[in-house]
């Protein structure tokens, strides 16, 4: 093993987004301690937002700074390739930061002290969580990846428990700790096999060492892959590893639920894509192995199971957060599809499809959760009947929610529709027809799930007559989500082309 490269001051520039978040976390933590109790902690929320935006500015800066004269992207690696600044990472970072910013923004003025007594912590703890997600999307080394994963996970455990007075919240946090720990254990165990066989944790080294390792100890690689698959499946809440999701989503404060559904899930996907894409590339270059088919098949089966179980489970669910948790299970299945498709069969736009749908998924989920926060507050419960007669109480919010639901259901012209459509095209292109069929059938069944909201909103008369109280940040973020959904629906082609152009696949992901 080569000697460890140390971090230099010039490298710090490339880490500016991460460093910003770290500093912001520390400053805000101190501020929260120093500030007298009577001061509303919303100020910390605004500062959290500012920290996130500053970090986002740096990410964008880096993205453009990295273009050389011809406009082609460049990759910068730090610390012996254990950290990579590339377009894949940068784009995902933007998604994570943006999603978190939306969540913070819509919580401002909505989250009350009675619900979350530790409002200050609630806000600033999102920062290390996002930092963990960013590390996960930007790492080229198993250890860095795992550190990022744990940073995100542990912060999330705390956030889930933020409703300190509600036993449901503590229970959810406990379950999340246990299942999250089990998942981490699976992943770490799988990684250790890989390290044992190849002798390196660096993804580039692993790839170059695969050939030899496959010859000497194929079975161990097999075991490693399956253990990691199981761990990620649990993190992503893919069926049958999804059971924790409903409990945790229900127990957590709604903004945290949104965070789990969007950022935590997206980050786990980022890590999964990082690691598995390396395997995919290896398999693509060495087409003879039987293992290749097994891995593709395992992922495809998991994705199919998630779509079926998530959709079927959501059908009978009355609690909206549990319902959205199951909808998230189905959507995780869809997000997994691009990776589960055989790359050798003319399918190179894996990342465009994945990121496009991830963005659409993020936008529609955050919007839906924001609406849910307000509606549940007004109705006093989180069941679907809380939406009854929403159209008569708050016609505009109902209209916005309808658009978000259409996107979730995958109806044109919304981001969700085109996201699903692109992924469907990919399945057909690679002749994975059975997966395409499952995607279509579950989509159709999911109409019943989402239309039950619409039925409640328009056709039922609610018991609550009063109008909906909507704080202006919540209203703005809901409408930004709706607008984003529609923009993704109306301009799918330019956006997809832009993502396509942004990363040239081999350059960004192939760890050379």
Partner 1 sequence: MSTSFAEYAWLVPVFPLAAFAILTAMGKGARKTGPWIGIIGTLASLVLSLCIAFERMTDNADDYSKSIEWLQVGSLKLSAGFEVTNLTSLMLVVVTLVSFLVNVYSQGYMRDDDRISTFFAYVALFTSSMLGLVLSDNLLTFYIFWELVGVCSFLLVGFWYHKPEAKAAAKKAFIVTRIGDLGLLIALLLLFWYMPDHALDFTTIHNVFSTPGGVISVGITTLIALLIFVGAVGKSGQFPLHTWLPDAMEGPTPISALIHAATMVAAGVFLVARTFPIFEASDAAMTTVAVIGAFTAIFAASIGLAQNDIKRILAYSTVSQLGYMMLALGVGSVSAAMFHLFTHAFFKALLFLGAGSVIHGAHTQDIREMGGLGKTMKITAWTFGIGALALSGIPPFAGFWSKDAILAAALDKNGILFAVGAIAAFFTALYMARLYFLVFAGKPKQDGHAHESPSVMTVPLIVLAILSVVAGFVDTPFKGWLGEWLTGEAPEHHGSGIVMVVSVAVGLLGIYIGWLVYVKGTVRRDAVSSRAPALVRTLERKYYIDELYDLLIVKPLRSFGKALQAFDDYIVDGVVRLAGYSTSALGRLNSRLQSGQVQTYALTALIGIVILALAIAGRRFW
Q: Provide, rounded to whole angstroms, the least separation between the CB of residue 239 and partner 1.
A: 8
Q: How far apart are CA 413 and CA 403, in angstroms?
A: 9
Alpha-helical runs (H) found in 66-111: 87-107
Nearer to partner 1, 397 or 452 (CB): 452
Q: Provide, rounded to whole angstroms, the least separation between the CB of residue 232 and partner 1.
A: 11
β-strand partners of 77? 84
Binding mask 174-193 for partner 1 (x = CB under 8 A): xx--xx--xx--x-------
Binding mask 219-258 for partner 1 (x = CB under 8 A): ---x---xx-xx--xx----xxx-xx-xx-----------
Backbone φ, ψ for residue 467 (5° rounding): -70, 175
How far CA 313 is from CA of 176, 305, 442, 457, in Å, comes to: 20, 12, 11, 22
User: Which of 131, 308, 403, 511 forms a contact with partner 1 (CB under 8 A)?
Assistant: 308
Nearer to partner 1, 57 or 312 (CB): 312
Site for partner 1 in 18-37 (CB under 8 A): none
Q: Provide, rounded to whole angstroms, the least separation between the CB of residue 237 and partner 1.
A: 11
User: Rule CB under 8 A: is residue 276 a binding residue for partner 1?
Assistant: no
User: How many residues are there in the chain?
Assistant: 512
Q: Which of 488, 258, 487 is nearest to 367 (CA)?
A: 258
Q: Count residues binding partner 1 (CB under 8 A).
A: 38
Residue 229: CB partners within 8 Å, gap ≥ 6? Answer: 190, 295, 298, 299, 302
Distance of CA 491 to the CA centre of its chain: 23
Q: How far apart are CA 361 and CA 487, in angstroms?
A: 13
Nearer to partner 1, 316 or 469 (CB): 316
Q: Provide, rounded to whole angstroms, the least separation between the CB of residue 177 and partner 1.
A: 9
Nearer to partner 1, 122 or 453 (CB): 453
- Pull the structure tokens for residue 357: 């749908």
- Pull the structure tokens for residue 480: 């930004």
The helix/strand count (H/E) of the chain reads as: 23, 2
Nearer to partner 1, 91 or 234 (CB): 234
Q: Provide, rounded to whole angstroms, the least separation between the CB of residue 491 and partner 1.
A: 18
Q: How far apart are CA 486 and CA 492, in angstroms?
A: 10
Residue 173: CB partners within 8 Å, gap ≥ 6? Answer: 157, 158, 160, 161, 248, 251, 252
Nearer to partner 1, 21 or 299 (CB): 299
User: Which of 2, 290, 472, 493 forms a contact with partner 1 (CB under 8 A)?
Assistant: 290
Nearer to partner 1, 230 or 337 (CB): 230
- Give me the residue label for tokens 């598995």: 276
Q: Which residues bind partner 1 (CB under 8 A)?
A: 174-175, 178-179, 182-183, 186, 222, 226-227, 229-230, 233-234, 239-241, 243-244, 246-247, 290, 294, 297-298, 301-302, 308-309, 311-317, 326, 445
């Amino acid at each position: 093993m080569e000697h460890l490269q140390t971090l230099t001051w010039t490298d710090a520039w490339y880490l500016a987004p991460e460093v910003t978040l770290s500093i912001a976390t520390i400053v805000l933590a101190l501020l929260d301690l120093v500030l007298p109790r009577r001061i509303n902690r919303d100020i910390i929320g605004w500062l959290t937002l500012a920290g996130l935006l500053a970090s986002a500015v740096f990410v964008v800066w880096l993205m453009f700074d990295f273009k050389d004269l011809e406009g082609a992207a460049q990759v910068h690696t730090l610390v012996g390739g254990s950290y990579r600044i590339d377009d894949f990472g940068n784009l995902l970072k933007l998604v994570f930061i943006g999603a978190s910013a939306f969540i913070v923004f819509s919580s401002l003025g909505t989250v009350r002290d009675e619900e979350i007594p530790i409002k200050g912590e609630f806000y600033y703890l999102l920062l290390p969580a996002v930092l963990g997600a960013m590390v996960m999307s930007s790492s080229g080394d198993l250890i860095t990846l795992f550190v990022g994963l744990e940073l995100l996970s542990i912060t999330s455990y705390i956030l889930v428990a933020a409703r300190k007075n509600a036993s449901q919240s503590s229970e959810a946090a406990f379950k999340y700790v246990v299942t999250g720990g089990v998942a981490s254990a699976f992943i770490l165990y799988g990684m250790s096999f890989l390290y044992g066989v190849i002798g390196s944790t660096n993804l580039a080294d692993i790839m170059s060492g695969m050939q030899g390792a496959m010859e000497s100890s194929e079975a161990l690689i097999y075991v490693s892959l399956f253990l990691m698959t199981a761990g990620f499946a649990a993190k992503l809440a893919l069926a049958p590893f999804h059971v924790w999701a409903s409990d945790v989503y229900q127990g957590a404060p709604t903004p945290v639920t949104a965070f789990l559904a969007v950022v935590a899930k997206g980050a786990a996907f980022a890590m999964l894509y990082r690691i598995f894409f390396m395997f995919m590339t290896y398999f693509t270059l060495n087409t003879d192995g039987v293992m290749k088919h097994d891995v593709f098949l395992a992922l495809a089966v998991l994705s199919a199971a998630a779509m079926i179980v998530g959709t079927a489970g959501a059908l009978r669910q009355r609690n909206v957060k549990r319902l959205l948790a199951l909808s998230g299970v189905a959507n995780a299945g869809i997000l997994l599809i691009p990776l589960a498709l055989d790359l050798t069969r003319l399918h190179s736009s894996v990342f465009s499809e994945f990121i496009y749908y991830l963005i659409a998924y993020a936008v529609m989920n955050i919007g839906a959760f924001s609406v849910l926060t307000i509606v549940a507050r007004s109705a006093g419960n989180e069941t679907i009947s809380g939406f009854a007669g929403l159209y008569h109480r708050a016609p505009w919010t109902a209209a916005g929610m309808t658009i978000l639901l259409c996107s979730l259901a995958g109806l044109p012209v919304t981001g969700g529709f085109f996201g699903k459509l692109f992924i469907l095209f990919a399945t057909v292109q690679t002749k994975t027809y059975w997966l395409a069929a499952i995607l279509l059938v579950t989509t159709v069944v999911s109409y019943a799930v989402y239309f039950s909201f619409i039925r409640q909103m328009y056709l039922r008369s609610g018991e609550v007559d009063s109008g909906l109280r909507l704080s202006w940040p919540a209203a703005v973020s809901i409408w930004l989500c709706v607008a984003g959904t529609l923009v993704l629906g109306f301009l799918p082609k330019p956006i997809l082309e832009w993502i396509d152009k942004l990363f040239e696949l081999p350059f960004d992901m192939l760890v050379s």
